[in-house]
Chain A
Amino acid sequence: MPQTISQKILAKHAGAKSVEPGQLINCKVDLVLGNDITAPPAIKEFEKIGVSRVFDKKKIYLVPDHFTPAKDIKSAEQVKVMRKFAHKYGIVNFFEIGCMGVEHALLPEMGAIKAGDLIIGADSHTCTYGALGAFSTGVGSTDMAAAMATGEVWFKVPEQLKFVYRGKLPKWVEAKDLILYTIGQIGVDGARYMSLEFTGPVISKLSVEGRLTMANMAIEAGGKNGIFEPDIKVFQYLKSRIKNLNSSFVIRNSALRSDPDAEYAKIYDWDVSELEPQVAYPHLPSNVHPVSKNRHIKLDQSVIGSCTNGRIEDMRVAAKILKGKKVHPDVRLIILPATQQVELRMIKEGLMEIFIKAGAAVSTPTCGPCLGGHMGILAEGERSIATTNRNFVGRMGHPKSEVYLSNVAVAAASAVLGFIGSPEDLK
């Protein structure tokens, strides 16, 4: 039976030749992830199971990133629970402040993810790793607890959606715009329970970091996973990060592609040559409009960072716009490099100086304001543009504040303009 890449990875981990949509399967997992919000309840549930060890000390990743560096006493207690658990069970991959990063930026960067892997994480944006050709999906804390004990998880095999992007991306249009446009077209439940496969000439040209941005927001369309067939760019990315990645791995996984006659519930085929930068207005990521629609949306804040857009390429785009400019006096620009490595490269490449001279505040890695945690919370009636992934009611602070989602270039340009606009408006 012809299979998509997602089905092939699921089948391999279920010990089956092929799988069909709707089928319930039990899979072995290659990696289990949790953060400072989701891991503590998982640890509590894990202790109830009554096992004396975790399934694999090296395959569990614990990343305190949401409310860290601990924003208050309760948050500090949550991280303490993780730290103690990691020590008790000898879990190797616990990331203390100073080496942690935003989980979905950190794991690909450090080489923890490989093409063909099956990954679950107690965080909805675990779908990010599909960019590297892994089947990766978010679960809750109880699923995480069960997987830490057994190394297994059950799945309903999802139906498949395919997205083909053709044409040439115009200037200042980024991977973020492709995924915002996609969510705008199909809605926040357009891919509910389904697998999103991204392909086409535009995708081949996209960097691995751009693909991470796209896969990251598959959940915003309700998807179970978002995935790209691994290509030469992905294998180069993996080789530069994973020691002992041999050529047989590359050869084997180069064949990890969807069969040409695989079945899809629906195929979307778009020419994106005329696409403008996209902005998702409050309060749903699907409420998407071209940036030129309204030039009168005044801002109080701009946030550049997160698991969606906090990588070095994002920082370079922001620097290109902010070089020699000043942030608008009514706007607070907060820049959050997603990992220590990103921050280090910002310093080495001179980006840090550009940001600080422009009047931006640069923070240590944290999810921070993206989920209304800390480091840039909005007051009643305030409005922020952000390169993050959600603009739900109260997402960045007061329930009567507003979040607009955009790409990095728009968020940086808007910080200078004082209203939502594109880099073209700076001229």
Chain B
Amino acid sequence: MRGHAWKFGNNIDTDLIIPARYLNTSDPAELAQYAMMDADSEWVDKMSKGDFIVAGDNFGCGSSREHAPIALKAAGVSAIIAKSFARIFYRNSINIGLPILEAPQAAEEIKEGDEVEVDLAAGEIKDLTTGKAYRAQPFPAFMQKIIDAGGLINYLKRNN
């Protein structure tokens, strides 16, 4: 996957990712219109499908709303690269099949607008603008199986 980087800071909470005032629906296309609304109200119009979010520590802290990763996925975000993720957001992303990569150095060094290429299977992140390559933390084998199945529900169906 290839796209441009959009940088966000530390502790990006789920209210910034998708404000609760839009949670009276769980329709992905509708939620996508409001992705990152309170962090940058024009972001959805500026970003292109396939782009990456590159953020600091504790991305996705706060509420358990699965609408947050759903909104980002439906908006066309191909993966999130962060220094670290909040626990429930991490679980939710794996469960719904939104790729997330924990890569502190990449999250620090990649600049807004850089062209980024990610090889998920290899856990490799390349900043094509600077030519630097980074490795993401590998997932435990059990989580990798959920990811490979395309999320928790598919994994359960496969194993039932």
Q: Does A72 contact B (CB under 8 A)?
A: yes
> Interface-forming stretch among A140-148, A233-241, A294-302?
A140-148
> Interface-forming stretch among A13-21, A244-252, A387-395, A411-419?
A387-395
Interface centre among A24, A74, A142, A394, by most chain B C-beta atoms within 10 angstroms, is: A142
Contact A390 B15 (CB under 8 A): yes
Q: Which residue of chain A has the shortest Cβ distance to B140 in the bound complex?
A: A24
Q: Which residues of A contact B13 (CB under 8 A)?
A: 390, 392-393
Q: What 0/1 readout, one digit per residue, does chain B (16-41) give for beta carbons within 8 Å of chain A?
A: 10011101111000000000011101
Contact of A373 (CB < 8 Å), options: B20, B87, B95, B140: B20
Contact of A122 (CB < 8 Å), options: B16, B21, B62, B64: B64
> Interface-forming stretch among A34-42, A83-91, A207-215, A328-336?
A34-42
Q: Which residues of A contact B140 (CB under 8 A)?
A: 24, 156
Contact A149 B156 (CB under 8 A): yes
Contact A138 B64 (CB under 8 A): yes
Give the number of residues in A that approach B within 8 Å (Cβ atoms): 53
Q: Which residues of B contact A126 (CB under 8 A)?
A: 64
Give the number of residues in B that approach A within 8 Å (Cβ atoms): 41
Contact B91 A392 (CB under 8 A): no
Contact of B86 (CB < 8 Å), options: A45, A145, A150, A222: A222
Q: Which residues of A contact B41 (CB under 8 A)?
A: 399
Task: Given A24-B140, A143-B152, verify A222-B26 contact (CB < 8 Å).
Answer: no
Contact B66 A41 (CB under 8 A): yes
Q: Which residues of A contact B84 (CB under 8 A)?
A: 189, 192
Q: Which residues of A contact B38 (CB under 8 A)?
A: 393-394, 399
Q: Does A44 contact B (CB under 8 A)?
A: yes
Q: Does B137 contact A (CB under 8 A)?
A: no
Task: Given A24-B140, A142-B96, A394-B15, verify A188-B88 contact (CB < 8 Å).
Answer: no
CA distance A45 to B151 in the complex (A): 11
Task: Given A142-B153, A193-B87, verify A67-B16 contact (CB < 8 Å).
Answer: no
Contact B87 A222 (CB under 8 A): yes
Task: Given A123-B64, A192-B86, A373-B21, verify A40-B26 contact (CB < 8 Å).
Answer: yes
Q: Does A98 contact B (CB under 8 A)?
A: no
Interface centre among A72, A192, A284, by most chain B C-beta atoms within 10 angstroms, is: A192
Sample of 6 A–B contacts (CB below 8 Å): A38-B64, A140-B95, A142-B66, A142-B95, A146-B156, A154-B142
4 smallest beta-carbon distances between A and B, as pairs? A140-B92, A142-B95, A74-B24, A140-B66
Give 16 A-B pairs besides A37-B23, A50-B160 with Cβ atoms closer than 8 angstroms: A66-B23, A78-B24, A124-B62, A139-B92, A140-B64, A141-B26, A189-B58, A192-B58, A192-B84, A371-B20, A371-B63, A372-B20, A390-B13, A392-B62, A399-B19, A399-B38
